[in-house]
Structure formats: C-alpha cells, structure tokens
Amino acid sequence: MSSDTIFALASGRGRSGVAVVRLSGPGATASLAALTRQELPESHRAVVRDIVTIDKKTIIDQSLVIFFAEPNSFTGEDVVELHLHGGPAILTALFDQLAGLKGLRPADPGEYTRRAFENGKLDLTEAEGLGDLVNAETEAQRHQALRQMRGALGAIYDGWRSELIGSLAHLEADIDFPDEDLPGGVAAAISPRIRELKTDLETHLADGHRGEKIRDGLDVVIIGAPNVGKSSLLNILARRDAAIVSEQAGTTRDIVEVHLDLAGYPVTIADTAGLRDAGDMIEREGVRRARARAELADIRILMTAADDPVIPEDFADLHRPEDFYVINKIDLGGAGDGPTGSLSLSVKTEAGLEEFLAALETEVVRRLDVSGAPALTQLRHRLALEECVAALERFLVAGEAELAAEDVRLAVRALGRITGRVDVEDILDVVFGDFCIGK
C-alpha cells in the first residue's frame, strides 16, 4: 500500500454541471474530515456536505460526497469522491486546500489505475482495456475495450498460463522422482497437449491484427491518376459522414487523411493528393510515397474516371482481389467498364455512392468484426505470445527433461508478463505512462 494520498480531477476539464475530484490513500478520510465539519459518512453512501477551507472560515462549495472504504474501492485503498459544481474557481480553491494537507499530493498520470493493479484490483490487460475505453471514439472500439476491461483477454491468457504451470509441475516432479511407468517420461506424455496449446496461440496470433486495427483504425487509401476525382471522393466521405472523428493533415504533405466512423468501426481514409504526372523529381517522390502508403494499406480504392479509364502504370500491380475498383464520373457518359466487381459512381451527382459506401462498410466489418472471440489488442501482447510459442516449439524438440522444463518455464513467464503476473516492473511505466492524470 502507498503511503502517499493522491488527488486529481477525475472528470473532464472546463466548466461543467458537476466535477468529480478523487482522493485515494491512507489520508483520504482525514482529508475529508478536514474539509467538512462532520464525521465520516458510511462507506458507499452518497451524502451532501459543505466543503470548507481548513481554517473553517469559508465554504468552498456544496458537494455530494462518497467514501469508499478499502479494500472495496477502485484502487483498493480508502477513496473519497467529491462531486462538486464544475467551475474553475471552485476547483482552484479546493486544490489549494488539498495541497496544504499533510501527506497529500497531486496524482501522476495513470496512478489510480496503477494502484488498482498493484492492489490486485485488475490485471494489466484490464488496465489497458480501461485506458482504451476512455479513449474509444467508435462503437467497435468501445465494445472491444469494455470486453477487455472486464477481463475477457486476461482470462484467455491466464487459462493458458495455468495449464502450462500444471505441466511444469509434472515435469519438475519427474526430474526429482522419475516415473518408471511413463515411457519417454512426462515430457512425452504432455507433448500432445502442448502441441494443441501452441496451435491455439498461433490461431490467436493469426487474426490479421484485427484487435490492433480496431484500436488504431483500418487504413484505406485512394489511388489513381490525377483528376479522376480522388480528393472529391474523400471530401464527400468526410462531409457526408456525420460521425467524423477528426480531420488532420497526413504524415507527408502529399497525403491527406480523414478519420471516419464507418458502421461503428474506425477507418482512416487517405487521399494521395498532390500526386501529379511523374515528370520531375519532386513529382516522382510524390508517386513513390503514394505507392509506399498504398502498399501498406489494408484496403486500396483504385479509381479511374469514365472519360479517362487509365490506371497509372505505377499503381497497376498494387490492386488485390479484395480491393475496390471504382469508376468515377459516370455522369459524363462513356464506358463504365472495369474488371469484374468494379463499382461505377459519380461523386458529382452522387449516383452509385450509396452502393459504394455500403460495399466499403461491409468489407470493413468483415475484416474487423468484433462479435467473435476477443482479439489481441496490443503489440506488447503479440510479442509475448510469440515468445511463448517459440518456447513451446523448443520444448517440443528438446531432448533432456531439464531443458524441456526450462522451455515451459519461459513460456509461462511470457504469458505472465501480459497480465502482469511476473517480473513486470519494466513494463509498468509503458502501460501507465499513456494514461491521463486523474485516471
């Protein structure tokens, strides 16, 4: 348990109907006593209290107060929540008083959740799920984060880990007291199950990065010759879709990105704008960047125009069967002919636009579907799982019992690092450093 008592604004900044200030630690109750003239309320009961200055001369605000007695609180420590009116002067006055109380200090980023983890209230995947939930901007992100916060991923990893610990116990017992009745020893006996487990891990890993993409957004790129209407399509998507998350310039001046919420899934659509005939050096660089970006994208929208049905040579080989081939400007007449599965539309008249959007949505949902088994959401998990698979592979070819046991031990440790069951010190800062203060 920490000796410091921490405080922070738990709700958003700015004027609001209600602002919540949270105190956690051994001094939370004494602080509450100093700030009210009354005795400690019952745990988990909301009560109305005047919040006063420590010298009791001034009332700062009238507040709804909730006390959570340890260990039944978010952090596992004594926690006090002050629900004040959300005005800047109230908060400034309150923080002045709190800073003057002994043993109190402002919380560091993520410190509440870190304390909750350290007190066994949640594991690391649940803490990460909570962070993602606060940052979720689309329905799929919210769904995935909530599920993770409630332990769905942690349960999978813990289940695998428990099983391996069971195997390890048998292996170690066999080293000390070999079982004459088992030909090939325990290692041979547990190999089939280890092989199955390795397959389960590999299946979980081979998810097309679904969970990670739900966190970061699916990457869609529009490519094609100049003037076929790429920017116009991007603009209309950005304007029509009521649920634009944010709009920002891309990583390079040549690429414009729009972040959209398509059917609840986060999608980044990039227009390789600025791309012109690859005449001079700068223009060639533009083509190179557009190409590089298109190669890395999850979905490519290859665009031509009915009056100019040419695909630039630079992009012709980039098209994959699951990509989109869109013929724009059908209002100009001309042949709308493209390869099978191509879609014709006019950004100008919006003919065919609904159909295109529906097809794009269907493809996005197909790739990121959150209704199935929980997907791994962080590179950190992926690396640990890969380490675990490698250790299991070594186990399956290891000859000596001692070596086999060591491989299983390493596999157990790799899984334990995901949920935070073993030597986690080095990764704690990574996990909690991304949190904002007050969480």
Q: Contact residues for ligand GDP (CB under 6 A)?
A: 224, 226-232, 273, 328-329, 331-332, 346-348
CB of 428 to ligand GDP, least distance (A): 47
SS3 (DSSP) at 422: coil
Closer to ligand GDP by Cβ: residue 73 or 346: 346
Q: By C-alpha distance, which of 146, 148, 142 is closest to 124?
A: 148
Q: What is the DSSP letter of 121?
A: S
Please list, in sequence order, all residues whose beta carbon lies within 8 angstroms of the beta carbon of residue 280, skipping any fewer than 6 positions away: none
Residue 351 beta carbon to ligand GDP: minimum distance, rounded to whole angstroms? 8
- Shortest distance (Å) from residue 288 CB to ligand GDP: 18
**8 A C-beta contact, residue 233 and residue 247:** no
Q: Which is nearer to ligand GDP, 139 or 331 (CB)?
A: 331
On whether the CB atoms of residues 340 and 224 are closer than 8 A, the answer is: no
Smallest distance, ligand GDP to C-beta of residue 263, A: 24
Pick from 269, 157, 155, 165: nearest CA to 217: 269
Q: Any bridge partners for residue 328, and if so which?
A: 305
CA angle 6, 8, 14 (to 5 degrees): 175
Amino acid in the structure at residue 186 = V
Q: How far is the CB of 305 from ligand GDP (least distance, A)?
A: 7
* CB of 58 or CB of 349, closer to ligand GDP: 349
| Plot region of 42 (φ>0 → left; ψ -120 to 50 → alpha; else → beta) | beta
Decide whether 303 or 418 has the Cβ nearer to ligand GDP: 303
Report which of 191, 162, 195, 165 is spatially closest to residue 409, judged by C-alpha positions. Answer: 165
Residue 316 C-beta: closest distance to ligand GDP, Å: 16
Q: Minimum Å distance from CB 249 to ligand GDP?
A: 16
Nearest distance from residue 333's CB to ligand GDP, in Å? 10
The two structure tokens encoding residue 118 = 């350290």
Does the CA dihedral 405-411-414-416 come out positive or negative? negative
Q: What is the three-class DSSP state of 282?
A: helix
Sign of the torsion formed by the C-alpha atoms of 172, 173, 177 and 181: negative
CA gap 156, 150 in Å, rounded: 12
DSSP 47: E
Task: Give the span between the Cα atoms of 303 and 317, in whole angstroms.
Answer: 14
What's the closest the beta carbon of residue 230 comes to ligand GDP, in angstroms? 3
- Provide the CB-side half-sphere exposure for 198 (13 A, CA): 19
Q: Which is nearer to ligand GDP, 144 or 272 (CB)?
A: 272
Task: State in angstroms the smallest separation of the CB of 347 from ligand GDP.
Answer: 4
Give whichever of 224 and 438 is closer to ligand GDP, judged by the CB atom.
224
Closer residue to ligand GDP in complex, CB, 233/364: 233
How many residues would you count in the chain? 439
Kindly state the greatest CA–CA separation across the chain.
Answer: 84
When the beta carbons of 79 and 306 are compared against ligand GDP, the nearer one is: 306
Closer residue to ligand GDP (CB): 9 or 255:
255
Nearer to ligand GDP, 90 or 290 (CB): 290
